[in-house]
Amino acid sequence: MLDYSGTLLHGMRKMGLDDVFEALKKNNLRSQISRVRRVAWFCVGHAVAPSTPTQDFRLHVQAWQHFFAGLFGLDALGRIRGFSPSEMALPNHPDVFYQFVKTLKDNGFRWVLVQEHTVEHVEDGWGLKYPHRPHRLIAKTRTARRFP
């Protein structure tokens, strides 16, 4: 799995490491590798989800996507399905967590990398029995919307 930090990519661009970007670009364009490789990303500026307002977090996500697409193209961006939050931190408040997950889903992400000890079963509050297997993440908002 590859993690592309927006801060790292920005720093490498400022340093003029064009040879590194060319190598990464070639690697990202090789379709036989990109089908089996998992790519995750961090936010631009190392935004930590619990302490970043949800509307700003959405802007960080979109800024990273714009920056990445500018470096590697829209096809490479379209293959990215994973997200690795900065500090692996998740919002604690259910409504903020819901907006965090909604932001990721709205921007094409299908999975998120978290620390196994931060996840618990809704039914009983226990930790994961099989922490290294993929699990389905469900986020619900506590503010119910009522439609007439």
Residue 146 pLDDT: 47
Distance linking the first and last C-alpha atoms of the chain: 46
Residue 63 pLDDT: 87
Does residue 127 sit within a domain? no
Does residue 134 sit within a domain? no
Does residue 132 sit within a domain? no
Residue 144 pLDDT: 54
- 68 within 8 A of 76, measured Cβ to Cβ: yes
- 87 within 8 A of 58, measured Cβ to Cβ: no
Tens of each residue's pLDDT in the chain, 148 residues: 566 677 777 888 899 988 888 887 776 655 544 554 455 555 666 778 888 898 898 998 898 888 888 888 888 888 888 888 888 888 888 888 899 999 999 999 988 888 877 777 778 888 888 888 888 888 888 765 544 4
Residue 8 pLDDT: 78
Tell me how many domains the chain contains. Answer: 1
Structural domain for 105, as ranges:
2-118
Residue 147 pLDDT: 40
Nearest by Cα to 137 from 106, 98, 103, 108:
98
pTM, to two decimals:
0.73
Within 13 A of 3's CA, how many CA atoms are on the CB side? 14
What tokens were used for 127?
């930790």
